[in-house]
Amino acid sequence: MALRADIWQQFVDRFQVPKLLEIYGSTEGNIFLMNFDGKIGAVGRIPKYLEKQFGDTRIVKFDIAEEQPIRGDDGFCVKADWDEAGELIGRIFADSPSDFSGYQDKEATEKKILRDVFEKGDAWFRSGDLMSRDRSGYIYFKDRIGDTFRWKGENVATNEVSEILSQYPGIRTANVYGVAVPGTDGRAGMASLTVADDFDISGLRAFLAREMPHYAVLLFIRIEPEAQTTGTFKYRKVELVQEGFDVATISDPVWFGRPGAEGYETLTEAEHAKILSGEYRL
């Protein structure tokens, strides 16, 4: 996980770090990036004058709903535009540093390989990460594939929403995900928060409306006593997505951004039933 841009400078100042360089890579992957000049928020850089040397690392257009790279009329993948989020991939060359040996599970190995990407017969390692690249060549982590969801015809990156939430007073941790709502297209935004004693939810919805596009403003807020994490300290999402906003089964308080209301309101079983029946136009 990349160091969040909103805490980068705070971290440097607090611990008096003379120079902070972020790197990107994985144990089994063949992609390595380095933010060698300390650009805040970037995980690496491929400047234009080094594009040929780094030609085996690309960002391709990606379909969030299908969770697959987009292919053109010719059947090949399409390079992402500047500042457009797409999947980061690395070309595989056998018996070289960019080889991909895979896993013991052959099916799992094949899922990480993208074939016939830019020409027949080529093979590329799928990072599973959505990245973007600006015109100066800096590369930014956006989200893990599967974490980004669509709502109102737009893509919502959970990582970006979490960064904005972390700036609101009293929020300690924010785990953002999409939940299914009957009768709607896509998934509505929901966040599980842990908060401090001085957290005041009354101003949260207005804050989010100012800081992000309308389609990314969260519809549901859940407040947990502590964050649910995996053994590697990543936020658990599968269970939270499955539980959704069903207040009949969730013991934690859940809040709802009712259409027409200014702030978030406590979600009751009666309101939950109205949402399921389609009474609200979300």
**pLDDT tens digits along 65-94:** 788 999 999 999 999 999 999 999 999 988
Confidence of residue 99 (pLDDT cuts 50, 70, 90): confident
Q: Is the domain 149-277 a CATH 3.40.50.720 member?
A: no
Q: Say what the pTM is.
A: 0.74
Range of 5-19, 55-69, 240-254 with top mean pLDDT: 240-254
Residue 161's pLDDT is what? 95
**Is the model's pLDDT at 4 over the cut of 90?**
no
pLDDT at 147 over 80: yes
What is the pLDDT at residue 140? 93
Neighbour-count burial of 279, counting CB atoms closer than 10 A to its CB (0-12 exposed, 13-18 middle, 19+ buried) = exposed
Report the C-alpha gap between 187 and 193 in whole angstroms. 19
pLDDT at 155 over 70: yes
Per DSSP (E only), the strands in 52-182 are 57-60, 62-63, 68-69, 86-91, 113-115, 123-133, 138-144, 149-151, 154-156, 171-180
User: pLDDT, tens digit, for every residue of 202-258?
Assistant: 999 999 999 999 999 999 999 999 987 766 667 788 889 989 999 999 999 999 999
Whole-number pLDDT of residue 55: 67
Q: Is the dihedral of CA 103, 104, 110, 115 positive or negative?
A: positive
Return all residues near 278 (Cβ < 8 A) that are at least 6 apart: 182, 183
Average pLDDT of 163-192?
Answer: 94
Residue 273's pLDDT band (boundaries 50, 70, 90)?
very high
What mean pLDDT value characterizes the chain?
90
Q: Which pLDDT belongs to residue 2?
A: 62
Round to whole Å and give the CA distance between 277 and 282. Answer: 12
Q: Is the pLDDT of residue 3 over 60?
A: yes
Instruction: Tell me the domain boundaries of the chain.
Output: 5-144, 149-277
What is the structure's pLDDT at 222? Answer: 97
Distance of alpha carbon 16 from its chain centroid, rounded?
29
Higher pLDDT, 101 or 68: 68
- Give the mean pLDDT of 103-120: 91
Q: For residue 261, name the pLDDT band (cuts at 50, 70, 90).
A: very high
Under CATH, which number does the domain 5-144 receive? 2.30.38.10
Q: 149-277: same fold as 5-144?
A: no
Q: What is the pLDDT of residue 235?
A: 77
pLDDT (average), residues 34-44: 88
